[in-house]
Amino acid sequence: MVSTCRRGHELRHPNFAGGRVGGGHGACRACTGDGQLKREGMTEPEIQKLTDDRYRRILALEGRRCAYCGKGIDVYKNLRKKFCGYPCSSAFHRQQRALEKDHLAQQKEEVWRKGAESRALRRGVFTAEVSRAEIVERDKWVCYLCQKPISKEEKPSSPLGLHIDHLVPLSHGGAHTPENCAASHMTCNLQKGTSIGSKAYEKLVKNIHFYADQ
């Protein structure tokens, strides 16, 4: 038979606090601190209601499973415990940071896409869906102008940051399409300006062949 504290709460896991046994009811986790509540002026019915609510919340923890691996966990030492151990806790938070990073990248991609389409529409040129991520993966993170790698860590505003260049500039009637876009450094893009040049022409022909072969 399961014993109970003086307030009627069963002294069983996870409510039983064996390390705090003293005077009988001290073993009840739900009633821990009830003496202090009484000294602070709370009435007995109020304390009973408070400890009963706490008792129901504690029993609800029974059978709790790890938030990462799904294994059952022991909440005896810590009622707020969500993981079965540090490895799962660390892996879960790494996963959350990765998801947040991906979400932020998607938001930045959407802002760039809308801005680029808006600029193209103001110019009155033909516009198709362009993904900055697809363009840079297609070009293997290499600037088509200087043939040097584009840093994945640099911001677009930095000299070595990623810029998407229109091979035939929008001001010259160039379309906003994947064929007419290429990955470049910010400095290389600014130095090229609104000119076309042989490198841009060669890249445009290469892009047209790339999408024709798909």
Residue ranges of the domains in the chain? 1-62, 124-212
Mean pLDDT of the chain: 86
Q: Which residue has the tokens 């003496």?
A: 35
| CATH value of 124-212 in 1.10.3470, 1.10.10, 1.10.30, 1.25.40 | 1.10.30
Give tens-digit pLDDT for 80-132.
778 888 899 999 999 999 999 889 989 988 999 999 999 999 999 999 999 99
Residue 77's pLDDT band (boundaries 50, 70, 90)?
low
pLDDT tops 90 at residue 148: yes
Give tens-digit pLDDT for 28-55.
888 888 888 888 888 999 999 999 998 8
pLDDT tops 70 at residue 10: yes
Determine whether 54 is exposed, middle or buried from the number of CB atoms within 10 Å of its CB (0-12, 13-18, 19+): buried
pTM tops 0.85, yes or no: no
- Tell me the one-letter amino acid at 15: N
- Average pLDDT on 138-143 reads 94
pLDDT tops 70 at residue 24: no
Q: Look at residue 169 and give its three-state secondary structure.
A: coil
Q: Let me know: does 142 contact 148? Beta carbons within 8 Å.
A: yes
Residue 1's pLDDT band (boundaries 50, 70, 90)?
low
C-beta atoms surrounding 66 within 10 Å: 17
Residue 19's pLDDT band (boundaries 50, 70, 90)?
low
- pLDDT for res 69: 85
Residue 26's pLDDT band (boundaries 50, 70, 90)?
very low
- pLDDT for res 70: 81
How far is it, in rounded angstroms, from Cα 206 to Cα 188?
A: 19
- pLDDT for res 155: 83
